[in-house]
């Protein structure tokens, strides 16, 4: 079943009201994605045919296709985000190819992903090798071997260089927790981020910016406001 957490109930058409919100964001140039997966749960596709069926469902219900049961209403999302953090690594590359194929029908279907920083990612590594992804927000947290630690930027820099050189992607974003409470480890104080971390990576042609987990924690901490002028 579709689970949109506490935001709304898709089974009573309670999420179609978000359509105007989505269109409002898009009118301001903000891309709105549907994220698949999450930090908990097990996610899998059983075959290439299964991947094609899922792509068709996503196209008709959330992207540019047509369905009588569009959970978010008439708004056409900008693409699909792969946040697969458990399950299997099979056929996500097929799903990426099938979704990307729908770009030929007009509006581009953007593909994004949120892999862990150990390279290659255990779940979406194969999908990222397709070269079809526009934006990849790498989770440089909850992964001590490749995240920044106070006073030691070496492991982080090595990981960043591997990500930016070993996959074909338009832009790579530095994924961080928006507060110490947002993750088990990997929070970077604003002063360290602006003086040490960002200067080390902003020169990369693939640097896209910073991704934060999550809006809830950012509202509490004000982290994005504190770093915005430096990103």
Residue 18: what pLDDT? Answer: 94
Residue 6: what pLDDT? Answer: 82
Residue 201: what pLDDT? Answer: 98
Residue 206: what pLDDT? Answer: 98
Residue 84: what pLDDT? Answer: 98
- Would you name the residues annotated as active-site residues? 85
Query: What value does the mean pLDDT take over residues 18-26?
Result: 97
Tens digits of residue pLDDT in 114-147: 999 999 999 999 999 999 999 999 999 999 999 9
- 124-154 core/surface letters (b: 16 or more CB in 10 A; e: else): bbbbbebebbbbbbbbbbbbeebbbeeeebe
Residue 89: what pLDDT? Answer: 97
Q: Output the six-digit token pair for 87.
A: 């399950």
Q: Output the six-digit token pair for 110.
A: 């953007």
Query: Average pLDDT of the chain?
Result: 96
| Confidence label for 229 from pLDDT (cuts 50, 70 and 90) | very high
- Which pTM was predicted? 0.95
Query: What value does the mean pLDDT take over residues 86-95?
Result: 97
Is the pLDDT at 7 greater than 90, yes or no? Answer: no
Tens digits of residue pLDDT in 69-81: 999 999 999 999 9
Residue 4: what pLDDT? Answer: 81
Residue 3: what pLDDT? Answer: 79
Domains annotated for the chain, with CATH where assigned, are 19-230 (3.20.20.80)
Query: What value does the mean pLDDT take over residues 51-59?
Result: 98
């Amino acid at each position: 079943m579709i689970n949109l957490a506490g935001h709304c109930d898709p089974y009573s058409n309670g999420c179609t009201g978000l359509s105007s919100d989505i269109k409002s964001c898009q009118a301001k140039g903000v891309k709105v994605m549907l994220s698949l997966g999450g930090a908990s749960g097990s996610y899998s596709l059983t075959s290439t045919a299964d991947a094609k069926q899922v792509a068709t469902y996503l196209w008709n219900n959330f992207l540019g296709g047509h369905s009588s049961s569009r959970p978010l209403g008439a708004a056409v999302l900008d693409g699909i985000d792969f946040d697969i953090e458990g399950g299997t690594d099979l056929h996500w590359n097929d799903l990426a190819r099938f979704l990307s194929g729908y770009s030929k029908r007009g509006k581009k279907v953007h593909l994004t992903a949120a892999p862990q920083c150990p390279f290659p990612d255990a779940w979406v590594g194969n999908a990222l090798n397709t070269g079809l992804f526009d934006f990849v927000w790498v989770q440089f947290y909850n992964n001590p071997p490749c995240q920044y630690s106070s006073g030691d930027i070496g492991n982080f820099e090595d990981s960043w260089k591997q990500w930016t050189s070993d996959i074909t992607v338009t832009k790579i974003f530095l994924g961080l927790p928006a507060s110490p409470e947002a993750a088990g480890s990997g929070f970077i104080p604003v002063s360290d981020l602006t003086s040490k971390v960002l200067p080390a990576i902003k020169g990369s042609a693939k640097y896209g910016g910073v991704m934060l987990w999550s809006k809830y924690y950012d509202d509490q901490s004000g982290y994005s406001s504190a770093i915005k002028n430096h990103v």
